[in-house]
Structure 1
Amino acid sequence: MDFIGIGAQKAATTWLHHVLSEHSSVTTNDTKELNFFTANYDRGYAWYESCFADAPPGNICGECSPTYFFSSDAPRRARAYNEDLKLICILRDPIGRVFSNHLHEIRKGHIAPSTSVEAGLAQNPAYVQQSQYKTNLENWLQHFDRDALLVLFSEEVAANPDESYDQICEHLGLSAREGSEAISERFHENITYRNKTLQKSLRFGGDMMRSLGMGDGVKKLKTLPGLKQMLSMNKQHLNIMVPPPTSETRERLANQFRPDMEFVAELTGRETLPWSTWSDLRPADAEQKG
């Protein structure tokens, strides 16, 4: 194994998996989240490497599992496996990530759609833990050199995916930049479906076609006017249906995540971060200094 995408959850890791899987010099597994260094570590190195047994000679191999980011064990285990692993981490506005995490739990059916963000925060400590960037990144940097870690921002991936893709290729030593149909695609939007049976059937058919090497055919089918309209009408966007955090919750979380954002800014050598939570704190800082 040559690289792993370590997270964070709800921060474009699915995009990362897809763009790398389309590069001719990269081999990924069909299953995006192998979770080897967390849930599947007991299966051993042989199982892990068997997931990439079809890699052509000369290809680099890797996978993306967001559970690695906030795991206390994954960095140590990954280092023991290969001290030369390249790491890719994509971060997101910490409060935006918390809200998306909440929508994800609703979409998965783990909690009721009527559950407020505040109730979700009270019930699930992982909401906050996965946005504690300082603690989680320091844990990884205890086991890997800073040069091994590429930090990107999901907001910049969305705004300029080609530039982010180039940074990834450079980090992994991929000399030839290749175009990818997935570069401009958005994956795993927080949506639910009016007719879940229909969506399940369509997804099963799409997965079957992909397993037969007909991935391009799936993409073309999605563009057909009738099917495209049906897919669109079946979607319900959770970020419209579910209320966002209250202003009081946002203020509390912003202050709680301040050390994490300052750490990220220092780590990446940036004076500004592409996060509204960061921007909201800066005027207050300037006022206090004045």
Structure 2
Amino acid sequence: MTRGLVSGLKDRSPRAFKDMANSVTRTYGMRTADQRHLPDFMVIGTKRGGTTSLWNYLIQHPLVMPMFPASRGLKSPWYFYVNYAKGDVWYRSHFATEGELDRLEQKAGSRPLTGEACPYYMYYPLAAERIHERMPDLKVVVVLRDPVKRAYSHYWEAVGKGVEDLGFEEALAAEPERLRGEVERMRAEPLYYSEAHDFHSYRDRGVYLPQLEQWREYYPRENFLIMSAEEMYADEQAALDRACGFLGLPPHRLRSAERHNHLPAPPMDAAVKQELTEFYRPHNRELFEWLGVDFGWPS
């Protein structure tokens, strides 16, 4: 019988073991969901703007709890759009328990925080309302990147994922038709996931002010920390210090300031770059006036 069990285990692929382990831990997380602490903060975007890098800086802080289980290294369960049908118990299962927070607080002398980072939440039209219903006191962190560079990086990510077969200029031209009616459908069908809205929104995703204003309908200005990717990468420690101060965390020295998800790409066509620069110029100017800060992008 033992030999049969061993033989059966040997027949299982590493992927099968991983799936089994994930299922077991998620089941446990769901059984203890009522003991788990919803996020104190979120990094909500922008896509290709440094969300993952900032999350990886924050998670180095001893008072920022990793998502459960820590071994998976998750930054988000992508709940408030593509996984919304799985329900709040499933969502809660990804975070630390109140008991874990209590024990760490007794040891460290400060209350630890839970959080997540999802670059689509800033742009997804239903996210702010859904999140506010569950976390009305949430602290919101935003990293914005020069929208011309962001759009090009977004395009190459889509190519790498196999969801884009047009050239960059052609993809920009196709964007209005690809996105036509998608927001309306998402609002009409709350469980509908739009791949076009997520992956093909190269130009529109860089018009940041309407996205931020949508979030401001639900959270006051003091609940936001907004920085540029350029300033973050110029001094990662200073960016972490700002985030820690905003979140009420004691300062912490970065162990690693590695840039995450960097995508090498060929130079952008000069004419396309110029067209995008001129398109974004007035939008950048409006954003800077609204923020009271100039990030140095063409405006």
TM-score (norm 2): 0.70
The answer as to whether partners of 1:69 and 1:130 remain within 8 angstroms in 2 is no
Structure 1 equivalent of residue 59 of structure 2: 21
* Separation in structure 2 between the aligned mates of residue 108 and residue 20 of structure 1, nearest angstrom: 27
Measure how far apart 1:69 and its partner are: 1.1
- Among 46, 51, 54, the residue aligned to 1:8: 46
Residue pair 2:96, 2:114 contacting (<8 A) in 1 also: no
Question: Equivalent of 1:178, from 252, 255, 270?
Answer: 252
> Does 2:202 correspond to 1:127?
yes
| Structure-1 residue corresponding to 2:94 | 51
Matched position secondary structure for 1:53: coil
Say whether residues 1:61 and 2:135 are aligned partners.
no
Report how far residue 7 of structure 1 moved.
0.3
2:225 corresponding residue in structure 1: 150
> What letter corresponds to residue 60 of structure 1 in structure 2?
L
Q: Please say if residues 20 and 28 of structure 1, whose CA atoms lie closer than 8 Å, have aligned partners that are also in contact.
A: no
| Secondary structure at the counterpart of residue 68 of structure 1 | coil
**Native 8 Å contact 2:65 2:96 kept in 1:** no
Unaligned runs of 5+ in 2: 1-38, 68-72, 103-110, 176-199
- Deviations, residues 11-58 of structure 1 (Å, cap 9, x unaligned): 111111111111111113221232222222222222212101355323
Residue in structure 1 matching 2:130, options 77, 83, 97: 77
Structure number with larger C-alpha Rg: 2
User: Does the CA contact (< 8 Å) of 1:155 and 1:274 recur in 2?
Assistant: no
In the superposition, the TM-score normalised over structure 1's length comes to: 0.72
After superposition, what is the alpha-carbon deviation per residue over 1:229-270, rounded to whole angstroms, capped at 9, x for unaligned?
xxxxxxxx3x13xx41432x3333233323431232123312
Q: 1:273 maps to what in 2?
A: 295
1:189 equivalent in structure 2:
262
CA distance in 2, matches of 1:149, 1:263: 18
The equivalent position to 1:250 in structure 2, one of 273, 293, 297, is 273
Q: Corresponding residue for 1:139?
A: 214
Q: C-alpha offsets along residues 122-151 of structure 1, whole Å, 9 cap, x if unaligned? A: 344511221110111111111111111110
Distance in structure 2 (CA, Å) of the matches to 1:181 and 1:6: 24
Task: Report the number of matched residues.
Answer: 222
Residue deviations 1:127-181 (CA, integer Å, cap 9, x gap):
122111011111111111111111010011111111111110011110x211122
Alpha-carbon distance in structure 1 between the residues aligned to 2:268 and 2:88: 42
- Alpha-carbon RMSD across the aligned residues, in angstroms, is 1.7
Code of the residue aligned with 1:273 in structure 2: it is F
Q: Which runs of 4+ in 1 moved over 6 A?
A: none
Amino acid at match of 1:188: N
